[in-house]
Structure 1
């Protein structure tokens, strides 16, 4: 008898699966270990083979087991992770990292610094108090109202990924399906894998997100969408497509729809979901892009029960986002929202748009196709352009030989065709012609077989 079979007990699928989970937690089963054949274990336990098959299926859906033909059913390896850091080789211009231009960011004026530094460090009634800054909540409420998003229940978290993770932990279970754009944001893919959730690709075309086939969303616990400035294509969800998508979501009232509006404060595109939200929703907006990557503050609002549960979960770990940091964010937000000069949101928006437009015009002149269509005139924005290529490695190497570091598309896709991502945070408008010429040459290169 297989040693692992002797450890497995239970008379129903739930108990059998629980017994295997216990063996995994205790270290009695390891990655790659074989489990007994369904019929063999069913005979040992005195149950119907379908009961064992259901137990195995439950653990497969949770990512704990894998079945591979003649090798049978085995313990799965650890969840896959995408590296968090990308190291740009010395001497290359970084168009891969996706960072904002620090020269465009707002800086606190001297008087504002004085006001901030006068605040006592012991801001809360106790170190464990879960509290959010009233000024930041007021600014967030004004912003949400201007966008047409209800702000009845707002929480402040530490980042986009942190916020989405807490929402998924509240709403989904290992093995559940979560739909996301393909291509999409690499850290989100890594998060789904770490939570043992199954990513379902939502296809994109030149106009952005496509409407999925009828019934596709019915089996999804959650859908994660970027309503505007999609990373990496720069597209926004079109109103007609959102209406069609929302009709499908009405039939899935338990499916959570997460709107990752990371570019919100810098966007000039209307928020398509405003006034037409699905039954179960969460709106997430990080302050990292408009105020700087070290501003680990994220605004979230949505269905009250969900946000309350997320805040309770947050209180068990980090407890709260630093009130000092929240007040710093509020001061910067107020300052950057005023006027149109350097350091304002308006100036950032126009600067990034000008860079995208200049590069897109040069690329079009070189005959280089971009996802999102004519990025010089279409409703696209943000930091990124998505360039289809015949072979990613060849294109990345060709660009590196010309002094540019660009991002291969493979970490961002589930089923999409090869492409590279160009980020304009480190692009000067004067670079547009040379960069476009180098891109055109790289795109035309074909990989050659090596014998």
Structure 2
């Protein structure tokens, strides 16, 4: 196949070679994911300098037509969409894969809305509401070791991460992502044309050797979830955060983005991998998990240069976050009743997840509940086989390979289910747990006897 592709490509200059490859892609003669010839063999076949072939591939990479995978070579870009969070449309199955917070635990904004009306905000005014900025400073700065920190408001955490990467990177730059990874982060990196470098996650969060390897591969940014990692529920321990900071000490200009998405709901202490001397960093906290996904607002605390670059992408009057929304968020997070409700919600998610993990363990599917909205359930058989069995029993679950950067069929995530079960109790929770155990058996898996494993 490689020889056939090489023979189809023509041209003497980099522009001609790139145009030839692009034509083959547009005609469907090169399929998404298909490998392109190595630079050396392409140059030899076309009788051009190796640098000419390199330049052609670089043009295609910048155009988003191809992606490079280091030693894995250059491949036609795959435009297929990444799976997203949320309800499955038009499904008659009970959806336990949503990743959504409980709508009954999201505060009613009606009373707060009456407080936010006031003087209209005009073009050219500061993009951050002064009251929200004062509250956000007390929320963010104590958790960052660097002292020179500035605040920015964006339309949610995904918006913040996308803008942070865009102001620091160009297409084909390498980004370290947790593996398994939050679906939105995978989507953001793919759409931006960056190259994802997987960093394994264990029970203490991002691994030290994984981060070290990613830095050796030349990543220019690291995206990490310090608490309630999605999908695993892992949180950085104090020891792990310290060891990660030690690795990053030799790379102070690599942009480190911490997405503390669960923040006020988390049952775990916050430990940062951003050291006091790190020069490029951003801590992002959104309000979507405790005030609702439609409350599109996040606070970013970053170094001054990153803040300045981020601000350039949030020009007043065009892409700023509505001051009405900023005032509404401030009214809610400073309301003692709402704050108490957020604490109650955090305890609810933890209690429900722990209770369901105990149900599964008692039925022979040993499960530990991490932090966050979801459970990451280990299985003795491929998760897709179990999810198919669950569909026959009326449940829609999500197999772990959707979150994996490692595409190998035997990757650890391929034997995991991510479940959102905090809205199940009593009979419903018992039935799902029993159906999971039955699905494991039907897929050829063995259950673990109580007290074993």
Q: TM-score range by the shorter chain?
A: 0.7 to 0.9
What secondary structure, in the 3-state scheme, does the structure 2 residue paired with 1:421 have? strand
Corresponding residue for residue 96 of structure 1: 97
Structure 1 CA distance for aligned equivalents of residues 77 and 144 of structure 2: 45
User: Which residue of the other structure, out of 393, 407, 425, is the alignment partner of 2:398?
Assistant: 407
Q: CA deviation at 1:200?
A: 1.3
Alpha carbons of 1:197 and 1:398: their partners in 2 closer, same or farther (altered >3 Å)?
A: same
Alpha carbons of 1:53 and 1:158: their partners in 2 closer, same or farther (altered >3 Å)?
A: same
Larger RCO (CA under 8 A, 6+ residues apart): 1
Report whether the alignment pairs 1:442 with 2:439: yes
Report whether the alignment pairs 1:131 with 2:127: yes
Alpha carbons of 1:80 and 1:267: their partners in 2 closer, same or farther (altered >3 Å)?
A: same
Corresponding residue for residue 382 of structure 1: 372
Corresponding residue for residue 141 of structure 1: 137
Alpha carbons of 1:37 and 1:155: their partners in 2 closer, same or farther (altered >3 Å)?
A: same
Alpha carbons of 1:320 and 1:239: their partners in 2 closer, same or farther (altered >3 Å)?
A: same
Alpha carbons of 1:203 and 1:77: their partners in 2 closer, same or farther (altered >3 Å)?
A: closer
Report whether the alignment pairs 1:173 with 2:182: no
Report whether the alignment pairs 1:182 with 2:183: no
Corresponding residue for residue 46 of structure 1: none
Structure 2 CA distance for aligned equivalents of residues 439 and 397 of structure 1: 11
Alpha carbons of 1:134 and 1:19: their partners in 2 closer, same or farther (altered >3 Å)?
A: farther
Q: Relative to structure 2, which stretch is displaced further, 152-161 or 78-87? A: 78-87
Alpha carbons of 1:220 and 1:134: their partners in 2 closer, same or farther (altered >3 Å)?
A: same
Structure 1 CA distance for aligned equivalents of residues 91 and 8 of structure 2: 53
5+ residue gaps in structure 1?
A: 10-15, 44-48
Q: CA deviation at 1:187?
A: 1.7
Q: Is the contact between residue 225 and residue 258 of structure 1 (CA under 8 Å) also seen in structure 2?
A: yes
Corresponding residue for residue 158 of structure 2: 161
Q: CA deviation at 1:442?
A: 2.0
What secondary structure, in the 3-state scheme, does the structure 1 residue paired with 2:365 have? coil
5+ residue gaps in structure 2?
A: 1-6, 31-35, 446-453
Corresponding residue for residue 250 of structure 1: 249
Q: Is the contact between residue 354 and residue 429 of structure 1 (CA under 8 Å) also seen in structure 2?
A: no
Corresponding residue for residue 448 of structure 2: none
Report whether the alignment pairs 1:50 with 2:47: no
Q: Is the contact between residue 179 and residue 201 of structure 2 (CA under 8 Å) also seen in structure 1?
A: yes
Structure 2 CA distance for aligned equivalents of residues 115 and 95 of structure 1: 37
Alpha carbons of 1:65 and 1:208: their partners in 2 closer, same or farther (altered >3 Å)?
A: closer
> Which deviations, in whole Å up to 9, do the C-alpha atoms of 1:343-374 show, x marking residues without a partner?
x211111111111111111122122133xxx3
TM-score, length-normalised on structure 1? 0.81
Alpha carbons of 1:97 and 1:67: their partners in 2 closer, same or farther (altered >3 Å)?
A: closer
Corresponding residue for residue 38 of structure 1: 43
Alpha carbons of 1:440 and 1:125: their partners in 2 closer, same or farther (altered >3 Å)?
A: same
> Which deviations, in whole Å up to 9, do the C-alpha atoms of 1:205-245 show, x marking residues without a partner?
34433222544313111111100011111110122122221
Q: Is the contact between residue 88 and residue 405 of structure 1 (CA under 8 Å) also seen in structure 2?
A: no
Q: CA deviation at 1:335?
A: 1.7
Structure 1 CA distance for aligned equivalents of residues 393 and 75 of structure 2: 46
What secondary structure, in the 3-state scheme, does the structure 2 residue paired with 1:216 have? helix
User: Which residue of the other structure, out of 215, 218, 223, is the alignment partner of 1:217?
Assistant: 215
Q: CA deviation at 1:60?
A: 6.8
Q: Is the contact between residue 156 and residue 321 of structure 1 (CA under 8 Å) also seen in structure 2?
A: yes
Structure 1 CA distance for aligned equivalents of residues 255 and 74 of structure 2: 32
Report whether the alignment pairs 1:397 with 2:388: yes
Structure 1 CA distance for aligned equivalents of residues 298 and 68 of structure 2: 40
Alpha carbons of 1:90 and 1:52: their partners in 2 closer, same or farther (altered >3 Å)?
A: closer
What secondary structure, in the 3-state scheme, does the structure 2 residue paired with 1:199 have? strand
Query: What is the RMSD computed on CA atoms of the aligned residues?
Result: 3.3
Corresponding residue for residue 12 of structure 1: none
Structure 2 CA distance for aligned equivalents of residues 230 and 326 of structure 1: 26
Q: CA deviation at 1:144?
A: 1.3
Q: CA deviation at 1:428?
A: 3.0
Alpha carbons of 1:429 and 1:311: their partners in 2 closer, same or farther (altered >3 Å)?
A: farther
> Which deviations, in whole Å up to 9, do the C-alpha atoms of 1:305-355 show, x marking residues without a partner?
112111212329952111111111111111267663xxx211111111111
State how many pairs are aligned. 414
TM-score, length-normalised on structure 2? 0.81
Corresponding residue for residue 240 of structure 2: 241
Structure 2 CA distance for aligned equivalents of residues 425 and 135 of structure 1: 34
Q: CA deviation at 1:293?
A: 0.8
Alpha carbons of 1:275 and 1:201: their partners in 2 closer, same or farther (altered >3 Å)?
A: closer
Q: Is the contact between residue 67 and residue 195 of structure 2 (CA under 8 Å) also seen in structure 1?
A: no
Corresponding residue for residue 13 of structure 1: none
